Every structure is written in C-alpha cells, then in structure tokens.
Amino acid sequence: MSTTPEVDPSAAENTACASAEGDPRRPRITLDSGLTVRPWEDGDDLKLIEVWGDPENSMHYQDRALLRPSSNKPWSRCVVAEDNGVPVAAATILRSSLHPDRLSFYAEVAPEHRRRGVAAELLNILESEAVKASMPHLKARCEKRSAAQCFLKDNAFKKVQVSRQIVVQPGSLKLPDLDGSGLDLQEIATGSVELTRLVTEFYNAVHEWDRAEMTLGRAQQMLLSEAVGASGVVVLRDVSEGAGNRILAFAISYTPEQTDDPADVLLGWNPQLGDEEAEAASLALLALLSARYPVRVEVDNSMGPLKRVTDQLVENQDAEADFEALIYVRDQESQ
C-alpha cells in the first residue's frame, strides 16, 4: 500500500498553470554538467522515452506517470534537463492530499548522463521550491540495490519502510473450517458504508509512519472505485453468537477476471482486533482467496499481522516475493 505515491485520480485534470511566484519555470538554468533545465512541457514524456527506453516494471511505470506540468492544485513542480535541446532527464516533487506531511520526489536520468550529479542538482532546484512553499520534508521509493537507492543514501535520505508484493500459489494454505469456527465469507458491495469505514480506519492505522488523512470519500475514490480498478470485495465475518456479525478482514480485488495469473488484492483487517486475532483473520482470508487461484498481496512492514503470515509462507516456500520497494524520507530535522 505504500509503493505507489498517493495522488488523487483527478490530479492529471487539475494541472492548472502554476503562478509565476514560486515557480521554477523561468529563467532556464544551466547545470554544472552543462545541461540546461526548464519546466516540464506537454510532449516531454514521448521525447524522454526515446532516450530512457521502456519502464522496467510497474513501479517504474507509475513513477514516470508523476511527471507532468507544474501545478498549484495539487501542488507540484516538475523540471526537465536538456542536452543541446534534447530532453535527457526529469524530476518532480508533488504533494498528496492523502499524505500531507511529505512531498514525493522522483527523478530519472538517461544512462549516459548518470554519475555526473544531474539528479542531485535537479533535487536542489526542486527542494528550493518546496522550502519556499513551507513543505521541506521529502520521500521517495526505489528498488533494492539500485542506483536510485545509492542516490537517496548519498543525499541524506533514510529508509523508513519496505513494501513487498507476495504471490501465494493456490492450495498453499489449509482452508479454515467455516462451519465450526463461526466464520463466514461474504461478498459485499464496494459502496458499502460499513466496508468504506473499515477500509478508512485500516489505512490510517497502518500508515502511522507516514501520517495519512484517509476519509470515507477518499477511500471510495482511491481504493474502492471502478476508476482504480476495484472489481469486487469479500469480507470475513465473525457470525458466532454475541460477536455482532463484525467484519474481521476484507479483500479488495483489482483483477476483473480470474486467470492463471495472480489476482491483485488489497487485504486488510479490522484495526480494533488484537495482533493475534488480526493475524488469524488474515491467514484465514488469504487461504480462502488462494484456494483455487494465485493471489498477489502487497505487504508493508507496518502491516505486522499480514507480514508475519506472508513471511512464514515465503520461508516455507509456499509463497514468493514478487517485487520489493524501499521507501526513504528526508525530513528537515534529520539533515
């Protein structure tokens, strides 16, 4: 849940021209490397892909999508570095209404221009705009043992989170005894108020490391809408006598049809549960989800109950880590 910088789905439609005040658009800046820097313009994505090549994975694809014209609503700044008029690098910082305490930072430089301090100079240019706007705290994500990780370490970013995508193969887990345990697996509408409230509470609870302001409306828009690919939800309820039919855990599917490829699922639990109850509920629901088809779940270190379940599965070779992202931050007080 932490591998994607959270931006409203409508953000691309709201990139109104930023005011000249506090805007790095002009004049052009010449870097120590000889490259010139200007604001991002429409069409730069097509020019840059010619020198960058195709994205290497889904995270890379998502991060490149953050590069867009500067805007004041939502707040973002984006610049391009050119070599004799040819775009070869770009960088952006942007504010998320969901995680307001830190700006997301992303930069990419063409291979032949790396190790010349280009990304660091772009970061300095953008960070000066962030300070002017009283938003000095930054975060960024990268792959393990990547050039980006080295860059973040060299520029005083500190690792605060690890997010993994875990693939569970069908039949790897023993199915729970629903009849004898007082549990029931039920489908529920994505528009359910009960579900939306639980998803909101869960998201905020597992993001204490990067304070979230998830609301019912944002949960519907960012996690439960057709626009983000939510295709269905199941919940595990405690239907035993006196339990109040409460939801123990939920799973949101972002895969419209079952195939041999893993289905992408957001699995969460009722944050009012104790750790042992949450772990048991997560294990039971994951077993039910993966009974016939492979399932891919995203697990952050902050998601303790689910992390313990998936760590054990990986150790037993009943699941495998499909992808891992590292989240780094640079807060003003940590520099």
Write down the pLDDT at residue 10.
41
Write down the pLDDT at residue 1.
62
pTM for the structure as a whole: 0.86
- The pLDDT tens digits along the chain (335 residues) read 654 444 444 444 344 344 333 444 455 888 888 999 999 999 999 999 999 999 998 899 999 999 999 999 889 999 999 999 999 999 999 999 999 999 999 999 999 999 999 999 999 999 999 888 888 899 999 999 999 999 999 999 999 999 999 999 998 999 999 988 899 999 999 999 999 999 999 999 999 999 999 999 999 999 999 999 999 999 999 999 888 999 999 999 999 887 889 999 999 999 999 999 999 999 999 999 999 999 999 999 999 999 999 999 999 999 999 899 999 999 976 44
Write down the pLDDT at residue 333.
64
Write down the pLDDT at residue 260.
83
Write down the pLDDT at residue 298.
96
Please check whether the domain covering 165-325 is classified as CATH 3.40.50.300: no
- Per-residue 3-state assignment (H helix, E strand, C coil) for the chain: CCCCCCCCCCHHHHCCCCCCCCCCCCCCEECCCCCEEEECCCCHHHHHHHHHCCCCCHHHHHHHCCCCCCEECCEEEEEEEEECCEEEEEEEEECCCCCCCCEEEEEEECHHHCCCCHHHHHHHHHHHHHHHCCCCCEEEEEECCCHHHHHHHHCCCEEEEEEEEEEECCCCCCCCCHHHHCEEEEEECCCCHHHHHHHHHHHHHCCHHHCCCCCHHHHHHHCCCHHHCCCEEEEEEECCCCCCCCEEEEEEECCCCCCCCCEEEEEEECCCCCHHHHHHHHHHHHHHHCCCCCEEEEEECCCHHHHHHHHHHHHCCCEEEEEEEEEEEECHHHC
> What architecture does CATH give domain 11-155?
3-Layer(aba) Sandwich (3.40)
Q: Where are the domains of the chain?
A: 11-155, 165-325
Judge whether 11-155 and 165-325 match in fold. yes
